[in-house]
Amino acid sequence: MDVLMQSVLTALALGALYGALGIGFVIVHRLTGMVNFAMGDIAVAGAFGAVVASSVLPPLAAIGVGALTGAVVSVLMYHLAIHPLRHQSLMVQTIVTLGVGIAIRSAIQLIFGTGPRQFEPITSGSSLTILGGSIPLQSLWLVGLTVVGYLGLAFFFDRTLSGKALSAFSVNAYAAGVVGISLTVMATIAFALSGAIAGGVLAAQVPTSFITAGAGLALGLKGFIAAILGGFEKLGLTLVGGFIVALVEVLVARNVSAAQASTIVFLLLIVLLVVRPQGLTRKVAADRV
């Protein structure tokens, strides 16, 4: 029982991270139809922004800087690499995001090197014990910030004029354009939100672990799996998908081999794409208008 609870608590924190990255994928995909494979590297850029800010700011404020850094890098990517290709196919735009991810990763390595970086947690002290398992206090902040980010996004999409405009554009871009909703403005908002939640949540994970310049690719793929489980549509199901991915990873690492955990997770990606591409949703989403 203690081992199972420990696995669940460990997966809870990791799952929040993967779910947040998955939400970043979903927000961009819902508006543009493309898959932003630079998401993991954008999140890493946010985390390094938090590391730099932590030298002069308290940890919580540094995490806020990480979210802002992720948003800025994501918006710059859109305007410099994606928007100029708006008349090209989604395949071309998606391939470009792979190149952008490599460029971001290389720039981070050039500036910060390849070594691990870390900063102080928001709350210091011993871990919290729950039913025989333990979870670091900073991981509770990570989970809490993810939930707050999810609730904020849900409120934005459901209750605000800009959120409803973004949702309208994702349903029918032509009709939204006729009534004066700008694709450029909506895409800028979508990329900013996706970069902010990914960069902020990864920054919150840094104090309990560490971050390296090359971590973006693996993190991004795990977030991609979470987005698939959410059907690339539902933010809540994407969070659930992130927890499932993390739980599989933790159980494999504990019972089989830690070295093979990521490999098994990526095999899960292949199985999902073949067997259930609609994820946890009941049916495949309708084609975009």
- Could you give the CA distance from residue 158 to residue 241 in angstroms, rounded to a whole number? 22
Mean pLDDT check: name the lowest of 76-90, 211-225, 238-252, 271-285: 271-285
Give a yes or no: residue 177 inside a domain. Answer: yes
Q: What is the pLDDT of residue 287?
A: 42
Q: CA 193, 198, 202: angle at the middle one, nearest 5?
A: 150
Asked if pLDDT for residue 177 goes beyond 70, the answer is no
> What residues make up the domain containing 34?
2-275
Determine which helix (DSSP H) or strand (DSSP E) holds 132, and give its type and residue range.
none
Q: What is the domain-level CATH number for residue 109?
A: 1.10.3470
Q: Classify residue 281 by burial, with Cβ atoms within 10 Å: 0-12, 13-18, 19+.
A: middle
Asked if pLDDT for residue 286 goes beyond 50, the answer is no
Asked if pLDDT for residue 94 goes beyond 50, the answer is yes
Please name the residue that has the structure tokens 């494979």: 37
Q: What is the pLDDT of residue 170?
A: 67
Give a yes or no: residue 281 inside a domain. Answer: no
Asked if pLDDT for residue 288 goes beyond 60, the answer is no
Span 28-53, pLDDT tens digits: 998 888 899 999 999 999 999 999 99
- Could you give the CA distance from residue 173 to residue 180 in angstroms, rounded to a whole number? 11
**131 vs 147 pLDDT, higher one:** 147
Residue partners of 85: CB distance under 8 A and separation at least 6 = 92, 93, 96
- Could you give the CA distance from residue 80 to residue 44 in angstroms, rounded to a whole number? 19
Q: What is the 3-state secondary structure (H, E, C) of 37-77?
A: CCHHHHHHHHHHHHHHHCCCCCHHHHHHHHHHHHHHHHHHH
Give a yes or no: residue 271 inside a domain. Answer: yes
Q: What is the pLDDT of residue 285?
A: 46
Please name the residue that has the structure tokens 């390849």: 114
Give a yes or no: residue 289 inside a domain. Answer: no
Give a yes or no: residue 97 inside a domain. Answer: yes
**183 vs 169 pLDDT, higher one:** 183
Q: What is the pLDDT of residue 254?
A: 83
**DSSP code per residue over 156-192:** HHHHSHHHHHHHHHHH-HHHHHHTT--HHHHHHHHHH
Mean pLDDT confidence for 25-30 = 91
Mean pLDDT confidence for 11-26 = 94
Q: What is the pLDDT of residue 289?
A: 34
Give a yes or no: residue 280 inside a domain. Answer: no
Number of structural domains in the chain? 1
Asked if pLDDT for residue 1 goes beyond 60, the answer is no
Give a yes or no: residue 268 inside a domain. Answer: yes
Span 219-276, pLDDT tens digits: 999 999 999 888 888 899 999 999 999 998 888 888 877 777 778 888 877 887 777 7
Span 182-203, pLDDT tens digits: 788 888 999 999 999 999 999 9
Sign of CA dihedral 28, 43, 234, 244: positive
Give a yes or no: residue 284 inside a domain. Answer: no
| Backbone torsions φ then ψ of 176, nearest 5 degrees | -65, -40
Q: Are 170 and 31 in contact (CB under 8 A)?
A: yes
